[in-house]
């Protein structure tokens, strides 16, 4: 199972929304590239690539034996982007989300 399929609990306003990481938008680190705005990390065949700091310095991050392994690594990167996104208040358990929401209401 991909890390993007992990069930998470996101606080939006005064409610908790349950979904998978994959079901939410706005968390993937993007940059301007020669091709337009795109995710900073991407797959080329069986390789994980980054557009680099300013979007115009492409470099190989790592080569994998198969394209499926490269895609899994990309999805792991996107899951890390989700957990590190400052615009999303997310939790791995409903209880943790409820506790945080109760503190926000105080």
Q: Which of 21, 17, 67, 16 is nearest to 44 (CA)?
A: 67
pTM over 0.85: yes
- pLDDT by residue (tens digit) across 48-96? 999 987 778 899 999 999 999 999 999 999 999 999 999 999 999 999 9
Beta bridge partners of 91: 9
Cβ neighbourhood burial of 51 (10 Å; 0-12, 13-18, 19+): buried
**Spatial distance between the Cα atoms of 30 and 40, rounded to a whole number of angstroms:** 5
């Amino acid at each position: 199972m991909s890390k993007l399929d992990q069930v998470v609990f996101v606080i939006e306003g005064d409610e908790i929304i349950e979904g998978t990481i994959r079901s939410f938008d706005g968390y993937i680190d993007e940059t301007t590239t020669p091709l337009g705005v795109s995710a900073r990390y991407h797959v080329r065949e069986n390789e994980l690539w980054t557009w680099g700091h300013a979007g115009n310095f492409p470099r190989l991050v790592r080569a994998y034996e198969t394209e499926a392994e490269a895609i899994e690594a990309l999805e792991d990167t996107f899951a890390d982007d989700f957990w590190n996104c400052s615009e999303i208040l997310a939790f791995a358990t409903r209880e943790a989300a409820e506790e945080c929401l109760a503190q926000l209401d105080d």
